[in-house]
A and B are shown apart, each in its own frame.
Chain A
Amino acid sequence: MSCAIHASGLRYSYPNGQPALAGVDLHIEHGERVALLGPNGCGKTTFILHLNGLLRGQGVLEVAGLDVSHKVLRELRARVGIVFQDPDDQLFMPTVREDVAFGPLNLDLDGEAVESRVREALDSVRMAPSAERAPFQLSMGERRRVAIATVLAMRPALLVLDEPSANLDPRARRELRELLERIDRTMLVATHDLPFAAELCERAVILAGGQIVADGPAADLLADSDLLARHDLELPAGFDLAAVPRRPRPRADAVAASAGER
């Protein structure tokens, strides 16, 4: 496992010929927490769908140490956990427990291992008491947490979240951020919620026009209001970036250790 994500010249066009990704170059190490920023429609979700082979473009793409191709799809989908934007798309089983078990069961684990993974995943998002409930009985914040548990239960090396803070009230949003901070995994967070990105990630990249146009420490990138404005992004009025504690980049040895844990 050399790197978490290595994309070089990744291109993809929609079936109608419209280009969505026009040569994405992105390198993410194990243990990093990276915010993928960009306005709506810039190709964030399209890029995410490439990471576990749901879409296939031209160019080089290695994810979680695997070259994305037909042969490794199963292994790839076990290593890359994608949390989709709308939890109603992600939670399709009749009860929370069955939904969280769906992934581990597809990995052909035995009953006991599945059971312990379900427990562990629900505990980590504090949703264990709701295991027998149906997804439509949960609030939006709870659904989002269960959606994250469904992915954590597969013990992915890389966790990818698509607009995790969308449709959450301020409190649910803060709780989600605190929850994600405790999860010790390589993380790619696609969002246009810049304060959320600033608080959660140490590194940020901007995707615009199907290319990575900026890459650097989140605090520096988000302080550059001209850069943000050029790509239709802005911090909310009154948000004090200086008040957000700076996150150091993870040390390489700690990263290697957490990568070997799988």
Chain B
Amino acid sequence: MGALCNHALELTGLAGDTQSRVHRLDPRAKILGLVSVTLVAVTTPLALWPVYGACALVLTAFAAAGRVGPRAVWRRARFILPVVGILVIFLPFVRRGGAQYDLGLLTAHEAGLAVGATVAVKALIGTIGAVLLGATTTFPEVLRGLEALRAPRLFVLIAAFMYRYLFVIVEEVGRMRAALVARGFRPRNALQAGAIGRVVGSLFVRTYARGERVYLAMLSRGYRGSMPQLMPLAFGRADTAFVALVLVALLPLRVASGLAA
């Protein structure tokens, strides 16, 4: 179970040169910059390939500055990309229009192919943007950035506690599974799987009880309904420059190609 946690840790932790300029940027700058790349990509109509190219260029430059290699990006992105892949594979057959390509049982449509390709590119840009944010910013920093950007406080709190207790719960699941297996549990049909239901039930009760204990521990240390901040974030000149650079690289192109189309 420790191995699983370490694996998960590796995939949520920093990658690349952790002292690089990009890593040291204010989390708000990175969130704003990378979210705007994704927003530009998502709102760009079909076939405006120069805009997508510019997005890819910004992401590549960002990764290069942080020395986040393609392998690190792939290791993290591979969990999300299959979901995108499934969607993209179906689109050419569902969306009709334009030329038709007969593939035996199925018929692919040109319009579908075009939509599929742009969806794939948009998803790829969004995914890599998120991966790069995660590779250059620790999760607690992302949360602090979100909170400073006025994301709903409750949402940030839930994410923070999820991050903290996910590993505790995963370990608990591992222990319960070990206890089942140790007593010879090997479900051969759906009826025998009922034990898993009881495991989930008792896990829910345990997690709920833990939640109460954590809350008591928080009250004991003077919690009054809002999370205090240890170090205030500092949005410096480098951060402004980074966001400005991203916007200058993308917005004129996006607006120009929008007008042309």
Please give the residue numbers on chain A whose beta carbons come within 8 Å of chain B beta carbons, in ascending order. 49, 52, 54, 74, 77-78, 80-82, 84, 86, 88-90, 92-95, 97-98, 101-103, 105-107, 111, 114, 134-137, 150-151, 154
Contact = CB atoms under 8 A, between A and B. Distances in A.
Contacts of A49: 216
A103 B167 contact: no
For chain B, which range describes its interface: under 10, 10 to 19, 20 to 34, or 35 or more residues?
20 to 34
Majority secondary structure of chain A interface residues (helix, strand, loop or mixed): helix
A154 B228 CA distance: 14
A95 B140 contact: yes
B19 to A, nearest CB: 14
A49 B229 CA distance: 27
A119 B163 CA distance: 25
18 contacts: A74-B224, A77-B219, A77-B222, A78-B222, A84-B217, A89-B214, A92-B214, A94-B138, A94-B143, A101-B230, A102-B218, A103-B221, A105-B228, A105-B229, A106-B221, A107-B222, A134-B164, A136-B5
A54 B220 contact: yes
Given A49-B216, A77-B221, A94-B163, 20 more contacts: A54-B216, A74-B222, A77-B220, A82-B220, A84-B213, A84-B220, A88-B165, A88-B168, A89-B210, A89-B214, A90-B217, A94-B138, A94-B143, A95-B140, A102-B221, A106-B223, A114-B230, A136-B5, A136-B167, A151-B221
B224 to A, nearest CB: 7
Interface of B: 5, 9, 138-140, 143, 160-161, 163-165, 167-168, 210, 213-214, 216-224, 228-232
Nearest to B218: A92
Nearest to A98: B230
B228 A89 contact: no
Contacts of B221: 77, 102-103, 106, 150-151, 154
Nearest to B228: A105
A245 to B, nearest CB: 33
- Give 6 closest A-B pairs by Cβ, nearest first: A105-B228, A106-B222, A94-B140, A103-B221, A89-B213, A136-B167
B220 to A, nearest CB: 5
Nearest to A80: B220
Contacts, number: 80
Contacts of A97: 230
A101 B219 contact: no
Nearest to B13: A134
Contacts of A74: 222, 224
A175 B54 CA distance: 58
Contacts of A136: 5, 164, 167-168
Nearest to A77: B222
A134 B5 CA distance: 12
Nearest to A153: B221
B213 A94 contact: no
Nearest to A54: B216
Contacts of B219: 54, 77
B29 to A, nearest CB: 20
Contacts of B222: 74, 77-78, 103, 106-107, 154
B160 A102 contact: no
Contacts of A105: 228-230
A57 B219 CA distance: 18
Q: Which of B138, B164, B167, B210 has the most CB of A within 10 A?
A: B164
Contacts of B228: 101-102, 105-106
Contacts of B5: 136
Q: Which of B160, B165, B219 has the most CB of A within 10 A?
A: B219
